[in-house]
Amino acid sequence: MGCLGWKYQLFCLLVLLSLLFHFPSSSSLSAVSPCSALLHFNHSLSLHRDASQMCDISYPKTASWKEDKDCCSWDGVVCDQTTRHVIGLDLSCSWLNGSIHSSSTLFFLLHLRSLNLAGNDFNYSLISSEFGKFKSLTHLNLSNSMFSGKFPYEISHFSSLVSLDLSFNYGLLIETPVWIRVIHNLTQLRELLLDWSDMSSIRPNSLMNLSSSLTTLSLHGCNLQGKLQHYILCLPNIQTLDLGVNSNLEISLPKCNWSHISLKFLDLSETSFSGKLVDFIGNMNSLKNLNLVNCNLTGSIPTSFGNLTKLTSLDMSFNNFNGLLPLSLLNLPNLSILYLCYNQLVGFLPNHVSGFNLIDLSLNSNFLNGTLPSWLFNLPSLVTLSLYGNQFIGEIGEFKSNSLEHIDLGYNKLQGSIPRSICRFVNLTYLSLSSNNLSIMLELEMFSKVKNLKLLDLSNNNLVGINNNVTYTLPNLQLLNLSSCNISEFPIFLRAATTLQLLDLSKNRIYGQVPRWLGDVGRDSLLFLDLHDNLLQGSFPTLSFLSLRYIFVSNNKLTGEIPSLICNTSSLDVLDLSHNNLSGVLPKCLVHSNVLSVLDLRMNSLHGTIPATFSKVNNFRNINLNGNQLEGSLPRSLANCRNLEVLDLGNNKIKGTFPYWLGSLLKLRVLVIRSNKFQGHIGNFKTKFPFSNLQILDISNNEFNGPLPRKYFKYLKAMRNADEEKVVLKYMGDEYYHDSLNLMMKGLYIELVRIQIVFTTIDFSKNSFSGEMPKIIGKLKSLKGLNFSHNNLTGYIPSSFGNLSNLEWLDLSFNKITGEIPTQLVNLLWLEVLNLSHNQLTGHIPSGKQFNTFDNDSYTENKGLCGFPLSKTCNNPEAKKPPPLTLQQEDNIESQNGFSWQAISMGYGCGVIYGMLMGYLMFKIGKPKWIVKMVNLE
């Protein structure tokens, strides 16, 4: 709704005309009656509830403005008693929507002392220099109202300004000339709030020159850069200081007289404020609220915190604090919020504490141990109790209070069962006891009053039974996780779970046909369904696929075809039906999807061809069809999958020549086409940098022939310089789906459950390649495995192989390789498996290092080899040696790290949950700080 219709527009026009008619010259414009100016200002904007959606309470104040009345009585308008000038205008959270141009009649209100337009939507208006006309302003609040651009220079006219709030106009630019004015001219300033504006060009030390009357300074998320060395904390009157979320701001605590500091609120979260916290923080005894989240603080928490008796809220989560949890903290009389999660604290919780006002207690993800003390269960006002990810033992006690809303005791070593007292928690929404040693009898009666329960996670415990004879249901349940609970049937109470979004019953013993009613569970709401690792039989469940985004039903015994109903999903992102016995053809619609990112149908009995219907623009990241009976040739439209990272088509009956055209997929890391019917030479390629990101290339067991493709090896950049140290713990895949593969490794067929992104292998075995092995392979320094066995290769083993310093297995067996084993191979310190058997190698087997660990099997059927470990000794140690070879310099392609695996940093306090499913999934997969993708709920 941009406007209110033509009649209204006409009215606006008439008002404007009347103003112009009566007051044609701009100098006399100031004489416009303030009431008409207000009215016209109001008419220049429209009302839109969404414009104030960030406000807790909002209503359209101007809707009650009546032309026939004196504007001094209007809602939000304040007039001077004697002069009748409009001196105050408060239209905060009033649904206003539209632009404020410099011609706005707002600027006729020259006597304004206080102006508050916060919490509206001014449609990215620039803040007009006309604001400078309000020379008498003492209070200006334009926060949270969608202003943009630069803050104007005319700010310097506000020399009486006491309070300036421009916060939450994301990216509003504050530049140095304006900032200097603020410092020099706004000497009366007591409150300055510029959160989330862009102050990247402002020198942090200039903050020190701000008015000494300042009581509030809030520069949260302003992208301040550089060192703040000086005494900002020592400003004599400062009470609220928020410099949080300025990750490039280096803060060091100054040495001033801390006991004089009246600071009540201090937020230095997510700044470069690292190192040890010094003891004198205990002298800031006015402090009520301290936030040091994600600051890389180390050492122990100073016991002097026990002196901060006024403290009500303390958040120091996501640091590296170690040592004991200071017991004095738990005795602070006024503390109601204590977040210390994601640190490395050790020790027990004390048996007695005196502070009983805790409302939120989050100590999760530390190394705390011992039993849960009884006071925990007696805290009368406790709302959030989050202790997950510690090492607590013993039983969960019975709670005395009813106020709890959020309980997470998951990932400990707790025993016993669910406390009975939970049945009284009428406001409980979140209950996770996942991954303990609990023996749970799931009796729904217990939850009969807990009508608000949204999340129930009992996974990874021992469910001794479910009382399936229930009439009661959990009407608000959104997430249910009973994974690894040892259950053998679908819980019937699910039947009525109409609002379910996530259902995880994976890793149980649920057997037989999927009940029909499962299709109605969360009919319009279910996003995530995980039934993998069960004993499900029969045809694929007839689900309502409408809202599903993630389907995991792998490792069951499903038969029949993939139902065409699956084509009804519009937002399916991950489909994993691997390791079942599904037959029929691959549905065209799946291939045609432009949303699907993971299609994992490996190890089924699908037949027919791969449909040639890949969309021009699609989202595929992983396509795994390994172990089916697919035939025909590869559709060229696969080359449309520009985001593809993993393509595994192994163990099918696909034919054709080598799909060199996949080389244009710049993100491709894994290409497996082993055990198919591909044939012919691997010829030249047409794209410029083919396969530059490839790390796993397996074309074994086909009918390829001709020479090894020397030029390809030249371009396999990702196999050259994986930076091991940086990426060693990164895996392929995203947080929902971990890429996995079946591969020959070290002579065994192994399922790699997760693929480290430094894992690089080449397998060309079991083809009919002939000719020599190119020396350039020696440049693929990141290679862990190289298999050329069972071909017709001839010539020497290039001495450059001695440069493959990461190689763990090398199999060149069953070829016609001649000459000696180059002594350079002794340098392969990680080599565990070496197979050179069945060749025509001659001469002395090199000795030393790893070579002392290989046995006869590595060398059998090479008539000319001699020396350890063979029994044949060498008669002539001066036997003919292959000419020394050096690595060719010609392929001096500049190094470029192929891996751009960037996670998005998402700092969040441990008390905050961003959309339940998101927060839940984050810890479900154990990546608390780094997530790659966000799911938006509701």
Ligand X SMILES: *[C@@H]1O[C@H](CO)[C@@H](O)[C@H](O)[C@H]1NC(C)=O
For 823, which DSSP code? G
Residue 378 CB coordination number (10 Å): 15
Residue closer to ligand X by CB (options 171, 275) is 275
298 scored as a contact of ligand X (CB under 6 A) = yes
Residue 500 CB coordination number (10 Å): 22
Of the candidates 689, 809, 688, the one whose C-alpha atom is nearest the C-alpha of residue 760 is 809
State the Cα–Cα distance between residues 935 and 915, nearest whole angstrom.
8
354 scored as a contact of ligand X (CB under 6 A) = no
State the Cα–Cα distance between residues 409 and 829, nearest whole angstrom.
46
* Residue of this chain nearest to ligand X (CB atom): 304
Residue closer to ligand X by CB (options 370, 563) is 370
In three-state form (DSSP H/G/I as H, E/B as E, the rest C), the secondary structure along 708-772 is CCHHHHHHCHHHCCCCHHHHCCCECECCCCECCEEEEECCEEEEECCCECCCCEEECCCCEEEEC
Least distance to ligand X, CB of residue 681, Å: 51
The answer to whether 361 touches 378, Cβ cutoff 8 Å, is no
Stretch that binds ligand X, among 57-65, 274-282, 568-576, 651-659 (CB under 6 A): 274-282
148, 274, 415, 721: which one contacts ligand X (CB under 6 A)? 274
Stretch that binds ligand X, among 237-245, 302-310, 499-507, 632-640 (CB under 6 A): 302-310
369 scored as a contact of ligand X (CB under 6 A) = yes
State the Cα–Cα distance between residues 630 and 607, nearest whole angstrom.
5
Apex 537 CA angle, 535 and 538, nearest 5 = 170
Stretch that binds ligand X, among 208-216, 295-303, 586-594, 812-820 (CB under 6 A): 295-303
269 scored as a contact of ligand X (CB under 6 A) = no
Least distance to ligand X, CB of residue 539, Å: 30
403 scored as a contact of ligand X (CB under 6 A) = yes
For 517, which DSSP code? G
Least distance to ligand X, CB of residue 32, Å: 25
Residue closer to ligand X by CB (options 298, 679) is 298
> Tokens in use for 310?
């006024």
201, 205, 209, 296: which one contacts ligand X (CB under 6 A)? 296
Stretch that binds ligand X, among 304-312, 336-344, 530-538, 742-750 (CB under 6 A): 304-312
* Cβ density class 736-756: b for 16+ within 10 Å, e for less: bbebbbbbbbeeeeeebeebb
**Those residues with Cβ within 8 angstroms of residue 21's Cβ, 6 or more apart along the chain or in another chain:** none
Q: Where are the beta strands (DSSP E) in 578-635?
A: 598-600, 607-609, 622-624, 629-633
> Tokens in use for 182?
């603020």
Least distance to ligand X, CB of residue 248, Å: 11
**Cis, bond preceding 869 (omega within 30 deg of 0):** yes
> Tokens in use for 290?
């301290």
Query: Looking up tokens 């862990």, which residue turns up?
Result: 784
Query: Looking up tokens 């009661």, which residue turns up?
Result: 472
262, 286, 427, 637: which one contacts ligand X (CB under 6 A)? 427
Question: What x/- string results for residues 152 through 191 when contact with ligand X is judged by CB under 6 A?
Answer: ----xx-x-------------------------x------
Residue closer to ligand X by CB (options 212, 402) is 402
907 scored as a contact of ligand X (CB under 6 A) = no
Number of residues that bind ligand X (CB under 6 A): 22
For 283, which DSSP code? G
128, 216, 223, 304: which one contacts ligand X (CB under 6 A)? 304
Nearest 10 degrees: Cα torsion 313, 317, 323, 327: 20
171, 177, 236, 275: which one contacts ligand X (CB under 6 A)? 275
Residue closer to ligand X by CB (options 129, 369) is 369
Phi, psi of 755 (to 5 degrees): -105, 115
513 scored as a contact of ligand X (CB under 6 A) = no
Residue closer to ligand X by CB (options 300, 427) is 427
Least distance to ligand X, CB of residue 779, Å: 33
Residue closer to ligand X by CB (options 320, 847) is 320
Q: How many CA atoms lie within 13 A of 537 on its CB side?
A: 5
Element (H, E) at 680: strand 677-681
Least distance to ligand X, CB of residue 218, Å: 24
Least distance to ligand X, CB of residue 211, Å: 12
Residue closer to ligand X by CB (options 409, 807) is 409
State the Cα–Cα distance between residues 672 and 765, nearest whole angstrom.
13
- 604-607 contact pairs (CB < 8 A, 24+): 604/577, 604/578, 604/579, 604/580, 604/628, 605/581, 605/629, 606/562, 606/582, 606/630, 607/583, 607/631
Stretch that binds ligand X, among 237-245, 303-311, 429-437, 726-734 (CB under 6 A): 303-311
Residue closer to ligand X by CB (options 367, 830) is 367
326 scored as a contact of ligand X (CB under 6 A) = no
257, 469, 892, 936: which one contacts ligand X (CB under 6 A)? 469
Residue closer to ligand X by CB (options 159, 213) is 159
Phi, psi of 178 (to 5 degrees): -70, -40
Residue closer to ligand X by CB (options 350, 538) is 350
426 scored as a contact of ligand X (CB under 6 A) = yes
Least distance to ligand X, CB of residue 343, Å: 13
Question: What x/- string results for residues 79 through 108 when contact with ligand X is judged by CB under 6 A?
Answer: ------------------------------
Residues of this chain that bind ligand X (CB under 6 A): 156-157, 159, 185, 274-275, 282, 296, 298, 303-304, 306-307, 346-347, 367, 369, 402-403, 426-427, 469
